[in-house]
Amino acid sequence: MIRILSLILALGMVTAAQAEPKANALFGAQMRPSQQAPMPIGSYNRGCAAGLVEMPESGPTWQVMRLSRNRNWGHPEMVEFLKALSVAARQIGWAGLYIGDMSQPRGGPMTSGHASHQIGLDADVWMLPPRRLNLSAGDRERISSIPVRSADQRSVTANWTRAHHTLLRSAASDDRVDRIFVAAAVKLEMCRTATRADRAWLQKIRPVPGHDTHFHIRLKCPPGAVACQTQRPSVAELSKGGNGCDDTLMWWVTDYLNPPKTPPQKPAGPRPRGARDFTLSDLPSQCREVLASR
């Protein structure tokens, strides 16, 4: 009898978990931020955000793209960082920046796209140098960015310029930045062309698949953000004071771009749960308050 009761209780718990709505549906439905003090909550790929602010759709040196997604929200530190970086882009000869996805109004998992971008400290910047900053809302839905790596992933294309290098160096040199994700070919090219006297910032440039047409900026947890979980290991810890170029050149050209003939076996068992599977129970408890806030 006890075993039967235990089984019934276990089945009830499974049914309840299955009935709980997905977190991405709950956060994706929010059109405005919470009326709370700014606070990144949890980790970049498992959290939410209170008190986010909107990156204005247009400014003197930027435009936000894909407005229909309503993903132009971030921690105030991120918004101010992007504005400053867009000014730096003007100084290297671009009209400014095209800003891609940041976060949803209250952060959290997204219904499509990113696994991260959940706490208001991630932002995508297009590799496409803006020619003008008066695009209509329709234009911003239609045009696309440009790829800067070759099809075989071993080199950059003619779309890559020295201005891209300078812009990424400017971003990585900011103390607020934890890391920047780029295509492997971009990291390889930047390692190849950076001067010997100016390479420390390269440790923040991290090769990650899927970043062919944009670069992804991730800020550190701001001072006083007690609910924010800093990513570990940090880039500085990972590189141990280096710039990642030696390890990058070795691993990306061998194991990744030219993998062993016998691929590693996938681990047995169910697929690991990802951001699109999360329910509120998977997120920090404060995320319920973020959703409930007016």
Asked if 127 and 146 count as a contact pair (C-beta separation under 8 A), the reply is yes
Ordered per-residue pLDDT tens for the chain, 294 residues: 444 444 444 444 444 445 789 999 999 999 999 999 999 999 999 999 999 999 999 999 999 999 999 999 999 999 999 999 999 999 999 999 999 999 999 999 998 888 899 999 999 999 999 999 999 999 999 999 999 998 887 889 999 999 999 999 999 999 999 999 999 899 989 988 887 777 788 989 998 888 999 999 999 999 999 999 988 765 555 545 567 777 555 566 556 666 666 666 666 667 777 788 999 999 999 999 999 998
In sequence order, what E strands does the chain have?
A: 39-43, 46-50, 53-54, 58-59, 62-64, 73-74, 97-99, 122-126, 177-182, 205-207, 214-219
Beta bridge partners of residue 54, listed in sequence order = 73
How many angstroms separate the CA atoms of 148 and 114, rounded?
20
Asked if 58 and 47 count as a contact pair (C-beta separation under 8 A), the reply is no
Report domain 22-258's class: alpha beta
Residue 7: CB atoms within 10 A of its CB come to: 10
